[in-house]
Amino acid sequence: MTQVRTDKILRVGILGFGTVGSGAYRMICDNQSAISRKTGFGFEVVKIGIKDATKERDLPRSIFTTDLESIVTDPSIDVVLELIGGVDPAGDLVEKALLNGKNVVTANKELMAKHGSRLVQLAKDKGLDLHYEAAVGGGIPVVQPLKHQLAGNDVLKIMGILNGTTNFILTAMEEEGADFKEVLADAQAKGYAEADPTNDVDGFDTAYKISILASIAFGKQVPVEKVHREGIRGITKIDMQYAEMLGYRIKLLGVADAVGPDRVRVHVHPVLLPKNHPLAAVRGVYNALWLHGDFVGDVMFSGRGAGSDPTASAVVGDLVDIGRNIAANGPGSAIPYGVGMELEGMDSLKTSYYLRVRVLDRPMVLGQIATTFGKHNISLAAMEMKTLDAEHGEIVFLTHPCLEKDFLSSLREIDAAVDVYEICNWFRVEA
């Protein structure tokens, strides 16, 4: 570690020493000289709070404590990095750190999605910083650019590939022509997916992240528990193949659409994206955020959305900002947002749809389905048909944009038609 001459030392406490905590610790040590030059401070990690004191670690035992509360109340600590994750006990610890006059950096998406408004307001009231760039998009700058450089815009739409695990799985399904379960097992073996993959593959993680972004962009906390959420378990390799034939890729997106003043639709689900959409090119564990603002137009950010080093990059970027602010004797720059965001339901969503059905191979079946769509004012953009065997066929429809409630009504009718024996799958399509 290069020694840097600085008169002042900023004392840092880290809560949590898993992937993210150890990455942040390493970055603070490795890049100490550059960080000190930028802030005018030396940085010293004085305490690291852990759960299990018996685990073998590379650092002197004295730096660790299992008494996490002692860190957030320690009068000698200037900045707390909360890198535990989850609401409990992280939420209480962040709150106590702020109440004890400490600036806080957190990478905790669940905490910020659920309690961001209250915690940021507390930081603001105390004249402190609460930064959370690492909570969304790992190392990709998205949270702060939305708060600052894009702040003059009315944001009209945000779409993000915000979960690396699911994007890795979908990319592998596409490249290998494999089904979800095989790829998941492989991803678990390689450490890209957790033993219990629910948080990723059922869209919870994406829902936290899009909620945080929408809360910043639209100025009120999105009630994350009300966000419409579907995961990727239902995507089959057959759908992948049809999507490919039709010129699309299937991605799990977090989406926020401005519907009106203080009214936003926030939804997480697989989407068929045209291959030439910039988000369609985001592969493997990469993340990306695409945004449309009234003045900026389209803008996109992409990079590694998770992992020890990229997440450390965001945490330490926030730490540098705090260091500069302390050096300048400035007030905290927390930017609060309120509560009470009204979420628009999915019924009024207007988009295109992909529908795959299996039918009895009879003369009337296509006419029946097409007529049903027509009755609900839905016109068709594309169709693919395939004979499965002597008796059965498979048809894929791509509709023009229509209201989701109309699509779902037509779906119920199609399902009831005698010659349709299975509605296999349907997805929303970004035109």
Q: Give me the residues that bind a copy of itself (CB under 8 A), please.
A: 23, 27, 30-31, 34-35, 37-38, 133, 139-141, 144-145, 148-154, 219, 278, 281, 293-304, 309-310, 312-321, 324, 328-331, 333, 335
Question: Is residue 287 a contact partner of residue 306, using CB atoms and an 8 Å limit?
Answer: yes
DSSP letters spanning 57-120 = -SS-GGGEES-HHHHHH-TT--EEEE-S-SSTTHHHHHHHHHHTT-EEEE--HHHHHHHHHHHH
Residue 359, helix vs strand vs coil: strand
| Closer of 155 and 411 to a copy of itself (Cβ) | 155
Cβ at position 118, least distance to a copy of itself in Å: 19
- Give 151 or 185: the residue with its C-beta nearer to a copy of itself: 151
In angstroms, give the least distance from the CB of 233 to a copy of itself. 29
- Of 337 and 426, the one with the shorter C-beta distance to a copy of itself is 337
- Parallel, antiparallel, or unpaired: how do β-strands 64-65 and 392-399 relate? unpaired
C-beta closer to a copy of itself: residue 109 or 376: 109
Nearer to a copy of itself, 232 or 320 (CB): 320
CB of 38 to a copy of itself, least distance (A): 6
Question: In angstroms, what is the minimal distance from the CB of 52 to a copy of itself?
Answer: 26
Task: Tell me if residue 102 is catalytic.
Answer: no
* CA–CA distance, 122 with 245 (Å, rounded to integer): 52
d(CA 273, CA 383): 17
> What is the CB neighbour count within 10 angstroms for residue 316?
26
Q: DSSP states of 374-391 as a string?
A: HHTT--EEEEEEEE-SSS
The catalytic residue among 109, 114, 126, 209 is 209
Smallest distance, a copy of itself to C-beta of residue 120, A: 14
Cα–Cα distance, 135 to 305 (Å, whole number): 10
**Residue 12: both structure tokens together:** 């840092």
Looking at the Cβ atoms of 32 and 372, the one nearer to a copy of itself is: 32
Neighbours of 72 (CB within 10 A): 24
Task: Characterize the bridge pairing of strands 380-387 and 350-360.
Answer: unpaired
- The 3-state DSSP class for residue 361 equals coil
Report the nearest approach of a copy of itself to the CB of residue 370 (Å): 37
Residues with Cβ within 8 Å of residue 41, at least 6 apart in sequence:
6, 8, 9, 10, 323, 326, 327
Token readout for 187 is: 């991803």
Instruction: Indicate left, alpha or beta for 309 from its phi (over 0: left) and psi (-120 to 50: alpha).
Output: alpha
Q: Which is nearer to a copy of itself, 292 or 400 (CB)?
A: 292
Q: To the nearest whole angstrom, how small is the minimum distance from the Cβ of residue 149 to a copy of itself? A: 4
- Spatial separation of the C-alpha atoms in residues 15 and 46, rounded to whole Å: 11
Radius of gyration of the chain (CA): 24
Nearest to 315, CA basis, from 86, 20, 48:
20
Q: Return the number of the residue (185 or 296) whose C-beta is nearest a copy of itself.
A: 296
Query: HSE of 295 in the Cβ direction (CA atoms, 13 Å)?
Result: 6
CA atoms within 13 A on the CB side of 145: 17
Q: How far is the CB of 318 from a copy of itself (least distance, A)?
A: 8
Could you give the residue numbers annotated as active site?
A: 209
